[in-house]
């Protein structure tokens, strides 16, 4: 009798343990799915192609030069307020994009291109002489030169971004490219308006 009771108790206990274990495993497998979705949403960027890599490698120095040009304007006490505001806006938009582009290249195992050397022929890039002219200019002439140069610079970026939209595979990179097209096209329109008012 004692043995039967003991066997029944053990059997019941083992069943409870097995059930608890099964529930625990089910709970674990249930929580793994959202974690995977979160990782993917955060940007694993495992699916990419050569167009994505080229977009990131070329856009980094392109953005870096735009920030250098903006810094020249912001260092001038005589810069027109609207031009200084535009320069600040350009820096605020492009600095975070540079960081993101660099992170993608690291994730993809691709080299970063952070120097301007070798990019002189890139769409919209200013030459060393162009940059020196901007640095040497003053007053309204400096404002005008900045706007003229940045329009050309933005047009180059828009062309590069459009190529990424058409040929890229990485969802994050393609989305950034669309943002660049929209944002910089709007800034070109603003700059053309400022030039016309001078």
Q: What is the CATH number of the domain that holds 170?
A: 1.20.1260.10
Q: Do 100 and 30 lie in a common domain?
A: no
Q: Do 91 and 188 lie in a common domain?
A: yes
Q: Do 10 and 79 lie in a common domain?
A: no
Tens-digit pLDDT profile for residues 50-66:
999 999 999 999 999 99
Lowest mean pLDDT among 25-29, 126-130, 156-160: 25-29
What is the predicted pLDDT for the residue at 123? Answer: 81
**Which has more confidence, 164 or 40?**
164
Q: Do 113 and 141 lie in a common domain?
A: yes
Percent of the chain at pLDDT exceeding 90: 70
Q: Do 77 and 25 lie in a common domain?
A: no
Residue 102 neighbours by CB under 8 Å, 6+ apart:
56, 60, 112, 114
**Which has more confidence, 3 or 152?**
152
The stretch 32-52 carries a mean pLDDT of: 55
CA 185 to chain centre: 17
Whether residue 18 has pLDDT greater than 70: no
Q: Do 67 and 102 lie in a common domain?
A: yes
Whether residue 10 has pLDDT greater than 70: no
Supply 83's token pair. Answer: 């031009």
- Alpha helix ranges (H) inside 44-138: 50-74, 81-108, 128-136
Whole-prediction pTM value? 0.73
Q: Do 65 and 19 lie in a common domain?
A: no
Q: What's the total number of domains in the chain?
A: 2
Q: Do 166 and 141 lie in a common domain?
A: yes
What region does 111 belong to: left with phi over 0, alpha with psi -120 to 50, or beta?
beta
Q: Pick the closest to residue 62 from 98, 104, 87 (CA basis).
A: 98
Q: Which domain holds residue 117?
A: 48-196
């Amino acid at each position: 009798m004692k043995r039967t009771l003991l066997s029944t108790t053990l059997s019941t206990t083992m069943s409870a343990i097995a059930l608890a274990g099964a529930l625990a495993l089910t709970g674990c497998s249930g929580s793994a799915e959202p974690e995977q979705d979160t990782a993917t949403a955060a940007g694993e960027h495992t699916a990419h192609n050569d167009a994505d890599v080229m977009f990131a490698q070329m856009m980094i120095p392109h953005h870096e030069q735009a920030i250098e040009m903006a810094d020249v304007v912001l260092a001038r006490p005589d810069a027109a307020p609207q031009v200084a505001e535009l320069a600040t806006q350009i820096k605020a938009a492009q600095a975070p994009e540079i960081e993101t582009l660099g992170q993608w290249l690291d994730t993809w195992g691709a080299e970063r291109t952070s120097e301007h050397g070798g990019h002189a022929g890139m769409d919209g890039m200013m030459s060393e002489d162009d940059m020196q002219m901007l640095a040497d200019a003053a007053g309204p002439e400096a404002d005008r030169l900045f706007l003229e140069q940045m329009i050309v610079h933005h047009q180059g970026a828009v062309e590069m971004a459009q190529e990424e939209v058409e040929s890229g595979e990485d969802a994050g990179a393609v989305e950034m490219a669309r943002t660049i097209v929209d944002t910089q096209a709007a800034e070109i329109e603003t700059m053309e308006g400022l030039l016309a008012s001078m």
